[in-house]
Structure 1
Amino acid sequence: MKRDEVLRILRKQHKNLSEQFGVKKLYLFGSTARNEATSSSDVDLLVEFDPIPGLFEFIELQQNLESLLGCKVDLGTKRSIKDFMKEEILKEAILVS
């Protein structure tokens, strides 16, 4: 999936994601952000919440995003990024909303 298509879909859905799941900010990173994704690539997203959801709500958000985008979504938070990868990921991250 192309970067611009992912950004368009997610930006259009931001209000719903915020109201339903407490999504404060969403960032795109990885191969899709670099416009290097292939047909088998997943979409890598970082999310900030307000309020922080429970595990089941987090999983429900991931499933909702996969349904919206029609592909696998790797969803994480800034705190979940391994230290040795954090700088590179945050440098390439694109603010979706």
Structure 2
Amino acid sequence: MDFLKKTYSVKSIGIFGSVATGQSSNLSDVDLLVEFQEPIGMFKFIELEEYLSKVLARRVDLVTKKALKDAIRKDVLREVIYV
């Protein structure tokens, strides 16, 4: 986590979705909710998403609280597991 804080200004990161609920398959992506200490640009955001995909050896769907769609916001915030 120190690397993520230092390199990408990550304040918190949590997992949600099928991987968090134990309902994933080998084809499932990993849904991650991230909050930053300070704003980062689009390229740095994509770089972080690619880095996490490489480390986890799975496709990662990285999202911020602000970007959550209203239809799923409550469910995501209820089930997210912060690491």
> Which residue of the partner structure matches residue 60 of structure 1?
47
When the two structures are superposed, what TM-score results if normalisation uses the length of structure 1?
0.83
Cα shift readout 1:10-62 (whole Å, capped 9, x = no counterpart): xxxx1111110000000100000001111000000010001110000000000
Structure 2 gaps, min length 5: none
| 1:17 maps to 2:8 | no
> Which residue of the partner structure matches residue 46 of structure 1?
33
Q: How far apart, CA to CA, are the structure 2 residues paired with 1:16 and 1:35?
A: 27
Structure 1 gaps, min length 5: 1-13
When the two structures are superposed, what TM-score results if normalisation uses the length of structure 2?
0.97
> Percent identical across equivalent pairs?
42
Tell me how large the CA RMSD over aligned residues is. Answer: 0.6
1:20 partner letter: T
Q: How far apart, CA to CA, are the structure 2 residues paired with 1:37 and 1:20?
A: 29
Runs of 4+ in 1 over 4 A off after TM superposition: none
1:39 partner letter: N
Higher-strand-fraction structure: 2
| 1:31 maps to 2:18 | yes
Count of residue correspondences: 83
